[in-house]
Each structure stands twice: as C-alpha cells, then as structure tokens.
A and B are shown apart, each in its own frame.
Chain A
Amino acid sequence: MTHISTPGAGLKLRGLVKRYGGTAAVEHVDLDVASGEFLTLLGPSGSGKTTTLSMVAGFTEPTDGSVVIDGQEITKVPPHKRGLGMVFQNYSLFSHLSVRENVEFPLRQRKVAKAERTRRAMEALELVELQGRAEAKPSQLSGGQQQRVALARALVFNPRLLLMDEPFGALDRALRERLQIELRRLHHELGITVVFVTHDQEEALTLSDRIAVFNEGRIEQIGTPRELYEKPASLFVARFIGESNAFTGQVSQGTFVSNAGVRIPTTAPDGASVAIVRPERVQVLDPAVTATQSGLEGRVNDVTYLGAQHRIEVNTDDGPVIIRSDTRLPLAERGARIALSWEATDAAIFPVQEQPIETSNPWTATLAQSTSS
C-alpha cells in the first residue's frame, strides 16, 4: 500500500449545546476522541447523535460550546475549511460526474494538478476495490459500490478525521456486514480517526473502539463495547445494548425483591428499581435437585438451537425470561419446569423514577428500541 498513513486527528467537544427554539437537540455534550480512535455515537433517533456530528462537520452552528480538532478551535469555521472526510447515509455522490471525477472532487477543490489528481483518485478507488468502474456514472453502480465510492472520495485527500453518518443504514444485512469488515480494515491500515453515527447497537459493537451512548440530547455513557455491555451505567444503556432480562421490584435494606419475590443482594439505594440480567448469565437448574439462589422458577416456552448456543424462553412469575445456554449442556425440554439462577454480581440494579418500565416482554422491548429509527 502506497498510502502514507498520517496519524489521525484528536477531537474534543466541550459543553456542546444545540437548541432549536426552546427544545434542546443536544444538551451539554463533552467528548474526547483520541488520535486514531474509532468512536461511535450510538442512540435512538432524535437522541442528538446526528446533530452532534453535524456540529463537528460544521453544518450546524452550536448554540453553545466548542469543537476543537488537534488543539485548534474550529467552532465557527465553515465546513469547506475544516478538511474533514465525510460519508453520508444516502451516498451523496455527484450524479453528473463519473466515479473517478467524484473521487477527484476534493482534490480539485484543493487545486491538485490533473495528472496527480487522477493518480490519487485511482489509488483511492483501488483501496475500495473499484478501480475497474472508474469511468462509470454513480447511477450505474449498486448501493454498496456507491457507498464505497463515497468512502474513497472521503479518504482521497488524506483527511485526519473521518465522519460517517449512518453510512450502511440503506444497505441490506449481508452487504452491511461486508462493508463493516472493509471499514475496520481501512481504519487499521490508515490510522485515521473515525467518528461514526448509528442507531444499530450491533454495528456499534462490531466496529468501535469506544461507544458514546446518546439519550435525549445527552451522553449516557462512554466506554468500550465490553464496558457498556458488562457494566452499563444506566438502565437506558443496559436495555439499549445487547439483549437483557429486566425484573421490576423494590430495593430495601440492601436487598432487591422483584414483584414475584426474587431476591438479589445489592448496594443500590432503597426504592423502586429494575434488575437487569444478561441472558447468557442465567443458569438452568433442575428444581428437584437444587434450591435456587434467586428463587425463580418457570416453564420452558420455546427452545431455539443457534449453533453455539441455545436460546430458551421461559415463562416465570416475573414475566418471560430469555436464557442463552451452551449447547453442550443438557437441553431443557419444551414445557419442562426449570429453576433459574445467576450470580448476584451478574445482576445490575438501577433505580427507576415515576414511570415503571413494563417487563411483560423484555426482548421485544429491546428489539423495538434497537431497530426503531
């Protein structure tokens, strides 16, 4: 690869606020992105992640706060002077230009000589394996190819920060996964800093070094995918990332008691609370043999074989519970009565205000959140 890899830029957002009329789209966002890092802004639609990206790009002027790239404040700099690469959800290729001319566009703006321009454009197209379609018009390419052209166009001038706004949102699943792998490879090869926006938590987990989870204009939590999954800082994060079982109940004097009487020791403060347990942390026990720690029993409603795991749905007094268990373990029969157990440390307990969260069907609830946008 002849590409000179320039180290990625560092990005700092300080107290970023955007209000439209009275309503705040983004409310006090602080964020540090390290050089070469792949950071994802994750959240449901309307959570402020796209507005935040738009302020980094310079399309939206912040009501308050600052955007700093490599120590330089650029809050008031217009987008064409920021030198950023950007990829949009709808590709945004110039339909009147050929693929090569599209990729040459940023170089043309930078007054690069014709021969050099073409050479570098072809090099960038090679990077996304589209050098053979250089003279085609964008409309002659498939969606995935168009997005790769957009990526080449965003990278051709060696920007140090790449912004991506739901770039794979319009593509089908298989293609999306292929492009995700390609993007990871490019990120490793080029050492560029990437800020990526998505509402798809799976995509965020796959791609990111770190994820900032947005909710109602604020960042709920920033951390590595593992931290977010294993140590969610709030109920919102716990429910938004990954599959989870939720039990509503009360904490009093160091013990959480669910509506059906499941007890979990905790350090959480007293009051109405929700306990979250990941499906793979729930163990299946034979009720005849073991008295369970949690005291929860149920009847197996459905068992799905998923290769490495079984996905078991159990109806309990606390509502349906999902279990993911190793397929090497003996299989629970449909209709069988089983006992459920987990380590107290595998349950995360969060206080809830006013609105109790309905636990009737935790998996459709998490699904609905991660797919709606």
Chain B
Amino acid sequence: MNESTRVRLPIKLWVGVAALLLVAPTLIVVPLSFTNKRSFSFPIEGWSLQWYEHFFTNDRWIGSLISSLWIAVVVGVIATVLGTLAALGLRGLRSRLSGVAQVVMLLPILIPGIVAAIAIFGMYLRWGLSGSPLGIIVAHTTLALPFVLIPVSTALRGFDDTITRAAAVLGAGPVARFLQVQLPILLPGIATGFVFAFVTSLDEVVISYFLQSPTLRTLPVQMYGSVTVETDPSIAAASTLLLVLSTIIILIPRLAQVVNERRAANRRGDSE
C-alpha cells in the first residue's frame, strides 16, 4: 500500500506511455470496425454497425469463427490433459532424463512457425491429414503443449509431497489423493494452462493457413485471406471480436480469483 502510493508522477506517466505504445496499434482497429465507409480511412467520418452485420450474416466469416472456436476448445482440453499428465510425469523422472524430456516438449516454442508449418504440411500431405480438422487440432496441440507444461510444472514445484503423504495416512487412496488434494491445489496452474492453450490455437495463423481447405478455415486464416484479396472493414470487426474474445478468456482466471477472495473475505466476516 505504502509502496504504491509513493510511486511518483513521472513514473506513472512513463508507465502510461509505455502501455499506450504497446496497446495503441491493436486498439486502432476498434474504431475502424465501426466505420460507414467501404475502406480503411482514419479518422472515422460516420459510424455504422454494417461490418458487424456483414460479419455475422456472411457464411465464410461466421463459419470460420465457429471453426476457430471449436478447434480452440478441443485443443485447449487435449493440451491441458496431456500437459498436466506430462508435468506430473516429468516430476517422477530421474533429474537428467526429466531435463531432456522437458526441453523436447518445449521445442515447439523455439521452432519458427513457418518452419514447423512447412514440415507439418509436408507430412500431412503424405498422411492425408491436410485440410482436416483433426490435422489442425493435432498441430495446434503440439504448439499449445508447452503453454500448459510451464504453468503446471511451476505449480508442482511449489507442491509439498508431505501433503500427499498426509492425505494417504488419513485414509485417502490414490484416486482420492489425486482428485481431492493434488488437483484442487494445482487447479490455478492448470486453468492458466488451458487459457493459454486455447488462445494459442485461436490466434495461430501460419499452420492453419497451410492446412486450410475450402470448407475449413479458421478465423485468422479467413482474415488473412480477406486482407489480401478484398479490402473490406469486415476484417476490423473480426479483429475486434478476436481481441475481445482473447482478452475475456485471459481475464477469466484472474476474475475467478477475485471472486473467490471476496467470498473468503465475506466468510471471514461471518465467522468473527
């Protein structure tokens, strides 16, 4: 409390400027999506919701949004389950083996997207997976895995094994120990992992672009296609939607935490 009130004005200003520089380019699409013109012109002269209407009535836009959403959900779930199991497994391994395994699983972050995309595209052509939702889901899951592995591993590092021992000696079998003790304590880390996995899939362009088919396009691919073929402010509406969606998803765990703390504070108030 004291520390934060003592932060001086120049520092606050500096933080404000830095934040603005980071966010401004992204935010510029928001007013653009409400223009009544058929082109990207700034400043806006007249306001309209026509591009949102266009977005939600055009099959290609709405179809790609739906594809993106369900693929992201499936990827989020699979990556979360696999990533959590991987983190638990890594912990049980001998230290040298676990180091190697961890680096291998983190590789997708390090490999340039375009390289991964070409490699995956080449393999998928042979396997006949190109253009199928399954192909995109598998590829996205690989990309998203590190984003689950990292937060869950971090949560596990703070996890004290005697807690599990305590649960055991008090009568909890292996399943009860996992469900009633380990899982709830690791839940914040797992939730963070899910959110990042979901957003990773939702935002991914390069691999999805290579793997697209006329019937299967994710929203970012549709946007990319739209911006190169037609200059239509629909893309601004799509960007705004994607922005809002990602932000909400990322904020959910934080909001849940705030709600929980409120509830706990209320409970404390009752008991005293």
Q: Could you tell me which A residues sit within 8 Å of B by CB distance?
A: 57-59, 78-80, 82-86, 88, 90, 92, 94-96, 105-106, 108-110, 132-137, 140, 153-154, 157, 163
Q: Could you tell me which B residues sit within 8 Å of A by CB distance?
A: 160, 162-163, 165-173, 176-177, 180-181, 184-185, 187, 264, 267-268, 270-271
B23 smallest CB distance to A (angstroms): 35
B267: contacting residue among A79, A83, A135, CB under 8 A: A135
Tell me whether A137 and B171 are in contact (CB under 8 A): no
Q: How far is the CA of A109 from the CA of B177 in the complex (A)?
A: 10
Given A80-B168, A140-B268, 15 extra CB contacts under 8 A:
A59-B168, A78-B168, A80-B169, A80-B171, A80-B173, A82-B169, A85-B169, A86-B169, A90-B162, A92-B166, A94-B185, A96-B184, A96-B187, A135-B267, A157-B170
Some 9 contacts from A to B, beta carbons below 8 A apart, are A80-B171, A83-B171, A88-B165, A92-B163, A92-B165, A106-B171, A135-B267, A135-B268, A135-B271
Tell me whether B166 and A88 are in contact (CB under 8 A): yes
Q: How far is the CA of A109 from the CA of B180 in the complex (A)?
A: 10
A136: contacting residue among B160, B170, B271, CB under 8 A: B271
Tell me whether A96 and B165 are in contact (CB under 8 A): no
Tell me whether B162 and A105 are in contact (CB under 8 A): no
Tell me whether B181 and A137 are in contact (CB under 8 A): no
Tell me whether B165 and A79 are in contact (CB under 8 A): yes
Q: How far is the CA of A80 from the CA of B167 in the complex (A)?
A: 8
Tell me whether B268 and A95 are in contact (CB under 8 A): no
B180 — which chain A residues lie within 8 A by C-beta? 105, 108
Residue of A nearest to B170 (CB): A106
Tell me whether A88 and B162 are in contact (CB under 8 A): yes
- Answer whether A157 and B171 are a contact pair too, CB < 8 Å, given A79-B165, A137-B264: yes
Q: How far is the CA of A136 from the CA of B271 in the complex (A)?
A: 8
A96 — which chain B residues lie within 8 A by C-beta? 184-185, 187
B264 — which chain A residues lie within 8 A by C-beta? 137
Residue of B nearest to A153 (CB): B170
B270 — which chain A residues lie within 8 A by C-beta? 135
B171 — which chain A residues lie within 8 A by C-beta? 80, 83, 106, 109-110, 157
Tell me whether A105 and B170 are in contact (CB under 8 A): yes
Tell me whether A86 and B268 are in contact (CB under 8 A): no
Residue of B nearest to A94 (CB): B181
B184 — which chain A residues lie within 8 A by C-beta? 96
Tell me whether A95 and B176 are in contact (CB under 8 A): no
Q: How far is the CA of A110 from the CA of B170 in the complex (A)?
A: 9
Tell me whether A86 and B170 are in contact (CB under 8 A): yes
A38 smallest CB distance to B (angstroms): 19
A248 smallest CB distance to B (angstroms): 43
Tell me whether B185 and A79 are in contact (CB under 8 A): no
Q: How far is the CA of A88 from the CA of B170 in the complex (A)?
A: 12
A78 — which chain B residues lie within 8 A by C-beta? 168, 173
Q: Could you say which of B173, B177, B270 has the most chain A C-beta atoms within 10 Å of its C-beta?
A: B173
A82 — which chain B residues lie within 8 A by C-beta? 169
A92: contacting residue among B162, B172, B267, B271, CB under 8 A: B162
Q: How far is the CA of A163 from the CA of B169 in the complex (A)?
A: 10
A132 — which chain B residues lie within 8 A by C-beta? 271
Q: How far is the CA of A90 from the CA of B162 in the complex (A)?
A: 8
Q: Could you say which of B162, B166, B176, B181 has the most chain A C-beta atoms within 10 Å of its C-beta?
A: B166
A105 — which chain B residues lie within 8 A by C-beta? 167, 170, 172, 180
Tell me whether B167 and A94 are in contact (CB under 8 A): yes
- Answer whether A79 and B168 are a contact pair too, CB < 8 Å, given A133-B271, A140-B268: yes
A86 — which chain B residues lie within 8 A by C-beta? 166, 169-170
A109 — which chain B residues lie within 8 A by C-beta? 170-173, 176
Tell me whether A136 and B268 are in contact (CB under 8 A): yes
Q: How far is the CA of A83 from the CA of B171 in the complex (A)?
A: 7
A57 — which chain B residues lie within 8 A by C-beta? 165, 169
B200 smallest CB distance to A (angstroms): 28
Tell me whether B163 and A94 are in contact (CB under 8 A): yes
B173 — which chain A residues lie within 8 A by C-beta? 78, 80, 109
A282 smallest CB distance to B (angstroms): 45
Tell me whether A95 and B185 are in contact (CB under 8 A): yes
A157 — which chain B residues lie within 8 A by C-beta? 170-171
Residue of B nearest to A106 (CB): B170
B205 smallest CB distance to A (angstroms): 39
Residue of B nearest to A88 (CB): B162
B165 — which chain A residues lie within 8 A by C-beta? 57, 59, 79, 88, 92
A165 smallest CB distance to B (angstroms): 9
A134 smallest CB distance to B (angstroms): 7
Tell me whether A84 and B160 are in contact (CB under 8 A): no
Tell me whether B169 and A79 are in contact (CB under 8 A): yes
Residue of A nearest to B171 (CB): A109
Residue of B nearest to A137 (CB): B264
B179 smallest CB distance to A (angstroms): 12
B174 smallest CB distance to A (angstroms): 8
User: Which 10 pairs of residues, A with B, have the shortest CB-CB distance?
Assistant: A109-B171, A92-B166, A106-B170, A79-B168, A86-B169, A135-B271, A96-B184, A92-B162, A79-B169, A80-B168
A85 — which chain B residues lie within 8 A by C-beta? 169-170
A195 smallest CB distance to B (angstroms): 13
A163 — which chain B residues lie within 8 A by C-beta? 169
Q: How far is the CA of A78 from the CA of B168 in the complex (A)?
A: 8
B272 smallest CB distance to A (angstroms): 9
